[in-house]
Amino acid sequence: MKKFLYLILLLIIFTGCSSNKLLKSLPVEEKMAKANELYEQEKYHKAIPYYTEVVLNRNSIYTPEAQMKLGNCYFNQKKFMEARFEYQELIRLFKNYPDIGEAYFRIGVCYFEESLKPHYTQEETHKAILAFNTYLDKFPFHPRKNEALDYLEKCNYKLLEKAYYNGYAYYKLSDYSSALLYLEEITSLNLTDDLDKMALYYSGKIYSYRKDVGNMLLVLYKMKQRYPDAGETEAIEKLYEKIK
């Protein structure tokens, strides 16, 4: 049995080596044609070795397109870190590629998709914002402009969510001054959603602990205006009545 498995392993290795040799021996035109054929069939994982071979041939007229499509292959497989690297290589090596703007746009998308949930560090979200702003500065009339603006809105909202979680964490630690710095970053924007409601709610609770009647009344006024039927508004009103 072991001998049989060993023979199978040798066969796989030999077949793989033969396949690699055959791929490397193909003319660059055939590599590109085969890559494009697989790409059109959405067999991205199979197209990658062919595009990679073309990319390694820096003097070929096909190399810039292969570099872009190599990034697209990873992108379409949701392998965003690998895709971003390939798009960055395209920008570094082929600045005059006809649709270089698409690469700039997709770098922003990759960073956004790589970013963690709002509870965690938002380094990639900040990088996504920088990438989209760079894209918009360089290509103000590119077809993806509106999509980039939508992504920027999502990124900025994600940073607001992060501010809320930071504020809540400081609230739980009874560090109320630090909590208010983050919560007021949200409440000052006059939003009307759950994020704003909960930021106002915890701000109101902090002011109640401090017996700060003036600021508590201001919070209560905002909550009644924006969320008159919410349980959180009723809770803050009861707290206000206690310390008034």
Q: Quote the CA–CA distance of 210 and 199 in Å, as a whole number.
A: 17
In this prediction, residue 76 carries a pLDDT of: 98
- Other CB atoms within a 10 A radius of the CB of residue 236 amount to 26
Mean pLDDT of 182-195: 97
pLDDT tens column, 212-234? 999 999 999 999 999 999 999 99
Farthest-apart Cα atoms in the chain, separation: 86
* pLDDT at residue 29, as a whole number: 95
pLDDT at position 108 is 98
Flag whether pLDDT at 3 surpasses 90.
Answer: no
Q: How far apart are CA 145 and CA 53, in angstroms?
A: 33
Note the pLDDT tens digit of each residue in 95-124. 999 999 999 999 999 999 999 999 999 999
Is the model's pLDDT at 16 over the cut of 70?
A: no
pLDDT exceeds cutoff 80 at 158: yes
pLDDT of the residue at 38 = 98
Q: Once rounded to an integer, what is the mean pLDDT over residues 69-80?
A: 98
pLDDT value for 58: 82
Q: What is the mean pLDDT of the chain?
A: 92
Q: Poorest-confidence range of 20-34, 54-68, 138-152, 212-226?
A: 20-34
Q: How many CB atoms lie within 10 A of CB 108?
A: 27
Q: How confident is the model at residue 11 (pLDDT cuts 50, 70, 90)?
A: very low
Please give the single-letter amino acid code of residue 90: L
The answer, yes or no, to whether residue 183 has pLDDT greater than 90, is yes
What the block records as the tokens of 10 is: 């040798």
Q: What does the domain layout of the chain look like in residue ranges?
A: 20-80, 174-244
pLDDT in tens, 35-69: 999 999 999 999 999 999 999 988 899 999 999 99
Section 139-165 average pLDDT: 98
What CA–CA distance (Å, rounded) separates 140 from 3? 64
**At residue 28, does pLDDT exceed 50?**
yes
Residues of the chain with pLDDT > 70: what percent?
Answer: 90
| Runs of H (alpha helix) within the chain | 2-25, 28-40, 44-56, 63-76, 80-93, 100-114, 123-138, 145-172, 176-187, 194-210, 213-226, 231-243
